[in-house]
């Protein structure tokens, strides 16, 4: 039996999909605020600026503080 070899065909180049800025902006703002809140809890949630009483939040983010270079002890 003879095997047929597929011949390359000419195709048009792929064109990336266009995303309107109005569709991206709300998600960018949401994730930006989420990252700022996370940065607050990792970097400043202890001591005089604490919004949550106790050491619970500090203990949960303790290793992240060291990884990001925040002093905590």
pLDDT digits (tens, 9 = 90+) for 21-71: 899 999 999 999 999 998 888 887 776 777 877 778 778 888 888 888 887
Structural contact between residues 68 and 42, judged by C-beta atoms closer than 8 angstroms: yes
The verdict on pTM exceeding 0.85 is no
pLDDT for 47 equals 66
Alpha carbons 6 and 25: distance in angstroms, whole number: 45
């Amino acid at each position: 039996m003879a095997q047929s070899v597929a011949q390359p065909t000419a195709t048009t180049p792929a064109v990336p999909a266009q995303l309107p800025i109005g569709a991206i902006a709300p998600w960018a703002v949401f994730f930006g605020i989420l990252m700022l809140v996370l940065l607050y809890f990792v970097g400043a949630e202890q001591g005089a600026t604490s919004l949550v009483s106790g050491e619970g939040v500090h203990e949960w983010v303790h290793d992240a503080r060291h990884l990001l270079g925040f002093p905590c002890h």
